[in-house]
Amino acid sequence: MPSDLAYWIISVPLEDNDPHRMFSELGSKLLSDGGSASSDFGQLSFPPLKTGTLESLISLSEDLPKLDTTYTQIVVKIIDTLRALLNNDESALAQHVLINEQSLDDYMLSWSWNTQKYRADRSLRETVDMLGKELNSIDSVMKQKLANYNSAKSQLQQLQRKKLGNLSQKSLADVVHKEDFVDAQSEYLETLLVAVPKNNVKDWQAKYERLTNMVVPRSSHKIDADSEYALFNVTVFKKVKDEFVQKCRENKFVVRTDFSWDDELVSRQRQELEDAGDSEKELWTELLRLARTNFSEAYQALAHLKIVRTFVESVLRYGLPADYFAVSIRPNAKRSKALMATLQSHFKYLEGYNESGKKGKNKKGSKAEASVGDAPGEYAQLLEEEQFAFVLTEQYMVAV
């Protein structure tokens, strides 16, 4: 059973060279067998693609499912990027997953081959390679831009954490003042900042002078406090600094060795945060615009790949001439089983198909073989995998 979260591209042999009649009959059948069996459907048309040899068709039939999966993932990753940039706002996402400013329904249900961008007179292998090259190029650009944005976002978050964390880790530039430190030009003395767990404040006040020798008496004063820590300064001789720091660790006092007073520190950190915010915002805007554009391009390329796959399977199934009738259907999730039953009933006459391309009484499972003649044994299983009387390919549908 195909997914009800994908467009169904269906292909069958064209009868009497009259696709409009076939479309009208199918539409009447879909509507009469449940009304809302499908949300919507539209007629598609294959361009005059080159069929090539049986060997090339079978080779493509083996490769296309793998390529289909790989390239669908490229489109999915772009969607994931858009969702992340838009904070999972589905209404905002719907405004960005457009194909040349068209909705996906409008694009897929009135699909036509873009002859200006993808020449139909190339071999099918060349067309598939060209589509793959485009999709891989889009993927490469997206990966690089996403890495740049994530780097800028990470830098901004680190700077923000420094302002928002507790006193054992946050930036102290806005907390302390120059007066809290001994003269920075002192040859022998240095002031340290120590974050003391609130439950240990009395312990600190009783112990700090005796943690090591050469601690300046009564040099520790409480500067600030939060819900977890109290921040104290203390002045020691430089020669015992390392020992004092070690003793503090043993007593669960956190010495902020990462901080030293700088007259320009406050303004510099403020500027760093502002610059990081500007950079993140600029890269966010750039990535959002790129993801929107690349989604449109990648989705179109993927849709063309799906049509090639449908065409290849149609030739292998029904043979030549390569005249087929195709439709795209957006299944109603609540009626997808009913839709499938209607389609199988409507195209039941195709369950047997003989070599001449005429309807026959061949058993189900031999139709692919009949359409292309006696296939080599190594391909027999491939050709027997078809499970419907019609060719069905699924195209990714964005759930918004």
Please list the residues that pair with 235 across neighbouring strands.
191
pLDDT for position 184: 80
pLDDT for position 367: 38
pLDDT for position 251: 96
Query: Quick one: 297 and 334 in the same domain?
Result: yes
Burial (Cβ within 10 Å: 0-12, 13-18, ≥19) of residue 144: exposed
pLDDT digits (tens, 9 = 90+) for 143-174: 999 999 999 999 999 888 878 889 998 888 88
Query: Quick one: 122 and 215 in the same domain?
Result: no
Exposure of 224 in the CB half-sphere (CA atoms within 13 A): 15
Residue 193, classed as helix, strand or coil, is strand
In a domain, residue 90? The reply is yes
Query: Quick one: 110 and 210 in the same domain?
Result: no
- 359-387 mean pLDDT: 43
Q: Distance between CA 30 and CA 343 in Å, rounded?
A: 8
pLDDT for position 39: 61
Query: Quick one: 137 and 47 in the same domain?
Result: yes
Q: 162, 141, 182, 126: which is closest to 297 by C-alpha?
A: 141
Place of tokens 């964005």: 398
CB 159 within 8 A of CB 276: yes
Final residue of a structural domain among 186, 220, 255? 255
In a domain, residue 10? The reply is yes
Instruction: State the chain's mean pLDDT as an integer.
Output: 88
Count of the separate structural domains present in the chain: 2
Checking if the pLDDT of 283 tops 90, the result is: yes
pLDDT for position 33: 63
Burial (Cβ within 10 Å: 0-12, 13-18, ≥19) of residue 153: middle
pLDDT for position 324: 96
pLDDT for position 369: 38
Q: What is the pTM of this model?
A: 0.77
Token digits of residue 40: 């919507």
Checking if the pLDDT of 379 tops 50, the result is: no
pLDDT digits (tens, 9 = 90+) for 181-239: 998 889 999 999 999 999 999 999 999 999 999 999 999 999 999 999 999 999 999 99
In a domain, residue 109? The reply is yes
pLDDT for position 351: 83
Token digits of residue 321: 């001439």
Checking if the pLDDT of 375 tops 80, the result is: no
pLDDT for position 366: 37
pLDDT for position 81: 97
pLDDT for position 361: 39
Q: Distance between CA 85 and CA 153 in Å, rounded?
A: 11
CB 191 within 8 A of CB 130: no
Query: Quick one: 126 and 28 in the same domain?
Result: yes
Neighbours of 41 (CB within 10 A): 23
Q: Distance between CA 80 and CA 73 in Å, rounded?
A: 10
Checking if the pLDDT of 371 tops 60, the result is: no
CATH code: domain of residue 184: 3.30.70.100
pLDDT for position 253: 97
Helices 124-164 and 265-318: angle between axes, nearest 10 degrees:
160
Residue 211, classed as helix, strand or coil, is coil
- 339-360 mean pLDDT: 75
Helices 54-85 and 124-164: angle between axes, nearest 10 degrees:
20
CATH code: domain of residue 348: 1.20.1460.10
**φ, ψ at 222 (rounded to 5°):** -75, 125
> Quick one: pLDDT band at residue 360, thresholds 50, 70, 90?
very low
Q: 205, 195, 210, 201: which is closest to 255 by C-alpha?
A: 195
Checking if the pLDDT of 24 tops 90, the result is: yes
Point out the least confidently predicted range of 201-215, 342-356, 358-372.
Answer: 358-372
pLDDT digits (tens, 9 = 90+) for 302-312: 999 999 999 99
pLDDT for position 400: 64
- 93-106 mean pLDDT: 95
pLDDT digits (tens, 9 = 90+) for 285-294: 999 999 999 9
> Strand 391-396 relative to strand 324-331: parallel, antiparallel, unpaired?
unpaired
- 116-120 mean pLDDT: 91
In a domain, residue 37? The reply is yes
Checking if the pLDDT of 374 tops 70, the result is: no
In a domain, residue 260? The reply is no
Checking if the pLDDT of 326 tops 90, the result is: yes
- Residue 16 is part of which domain span? 6-151+280-396
Token digits of residue 257: 């060795």
In a domain, residue 34? The reply is yes
Query: Quick one: 310 and 345 in the same domain?
Result: yes
pLDDT digits (tens, 9 = 90+) for 32-77: 765 544 468 999 999 999 999 999 999 999 999 999 999 999 999 9
